[in-house]
Amino acid sequence: MEGVSGEEGKLKLLSLSNNKLYRTSFLDHLKSFPKLETLQFSENELNGSVPWAQVSQTLMQLQLQSNQLTGPLTMPDVTFPNLQCLSLDNNQFTGKMEWNEIWRQFPNLEGLYLSWNNISGALNWSQFPPGKPLWYLDIRNNNFSGTLEFEGMPSMLSLFRVDGNGFIGDLNLTALYVWLRRMDTKGDIIDAVRSEKLANKYKEFKELYTKLVHGHLDENSKLTTLVNNTKMITRSIEQKPGAVQWDAGVRGEVVSLYAHFRTVDTVKRTILFDDEKKSADTLHVVRAKVLLIDEVDVFFNKEFYGSCYSPAATL
């Protein structure tokens, strides 16, 4: 990229992921691109420490996951006021985490991904300044230790993963319950009216699911009938590439649709059989192979929430 100038360019995103790049000298040239917001440099062979001195301060997203970065996770000497997403997971970082340094250098960070490293230290919420717009914190599979507290957690936090560390002690479930009661996926306060609505929705789902399971979990029931009934719930909506129907009316059928989905899964995995060695009411559960795509919301920024999203498509 030597000799390339971006002063008049419009480059906003540069993706160099999944190569065998190991030099960082090109980063100096990227500083000439004033509109560059996202740099994707994951799955390469970058080694050593994070080359902060060569990283443009205009970046909003920096993705360096799945490289060979090593040593203590040092912070830059300058502030990155625009950086919202920092992905350093799946490297070989070591040393003790100083959370207050993170927020001092990245004051507007919304997503921090540090999983699959060897970083140690405690998770001290007092080092997380109040009012920080932190939405995602992923520190799985490190060497963090100490007690795991929920009191004082950031109010905006919607994804929090700490699997595979060394936390000990009793969980303060009361503090966790209080935190969950005042949170929804957007970080807003859930008032009493909406809490009651959620409880009623779950009650409606449970009653319908139980009824459907009891009605179809017998030898005379046919799975095809249940599947057809499930399809009929949204019979007027058929998503095809290039012809997506944004029908908000389906929201009123979510409880019924989910109850039918769960019933189809339950009935499909449960086979009734009766032979000489088994009683007639014995259930044989077959574990189906399922592709689960979870936490799709992590791919969206906070501006997305409230907009339409349709995960259904005709294959």
Task: Give dist(CA 233, CA 252) in Å, integer.
Answer: 10
* Span between the terminal Cα atoms of the chain, in Å: 41
Across the range 93-113, mean pLDDT stands at 92
Task: Give dist(CA 85, CA 109) in Å, integer.
Answer: 6
Residue 169 has pLDDT above 80, yes or no: no
Three-class DSSP category at 143:
strand
pLDDT band at 297 (very low <50, low <70, confident <90, very high): low
113 vs 313: which has the higher pLDDT:
113
DSSP code, position 3: T
289 vs 232: which has the higher pLDDT:
232
| Token pair listed for 106 | 């990245």
What was the pLDDT predicted at 256? 84
DSSP code, position 74: P
4 vs 197: which has the higher pLDDT:
197
What was the pLDDT predicted at 236? 60
Task: Give dist(CA 40, CA 61) in Å, integer.
Answer: 8
* Digit-coded pLDDT (tens) for 220-266: 666 778 778 877 776 666 656 666 655 556 667 778 888 888 888 88
Residue 131 has pLDDT above 80, yes or no: no
Q: Are strands 270-272 and 283-285 parallel, antiparallel or unpaired?
A: antiparallel
* Digit-coded pLDDT (tens) for 35-94: 888 888 889 898 888 888 888 888 999 999 999 999 998 888 899 999 999 999 999 999
What was the pLDDT predicted at 249? 60
Contact 83, 109 (CB under 8 A): yes
Helical residues (DSSP H) of 217-238, grouped into ranges: 223-233
Phi, psi angles (nearest 5°) of residue 5: -115, 140
Mean pLDDT, the chain, rounded, equals: 75
Q: Quick one: the chain helix, strand, coil %, rounded to 5?
A: 30, 15, 55
Domains of the chain, start order: 13-181 (3.80.10.10), 192-304 (no CATH)
Task: Give dist(CA 102, CA 105) in Å, integer.
Answer: 6
Contact 138, 113 (CB under 8 A): yes
Rg of the Cα trace of the chain?
Answer: 25
* Digit-coded pLDDT (tens) for 116-125: 999 999 998 8
Contact 105, 131 (CB under 8 A): no
141 vs 273: which has the higher pLDDT:
141
Across the range 164-184, mean pLDDT stands at 68
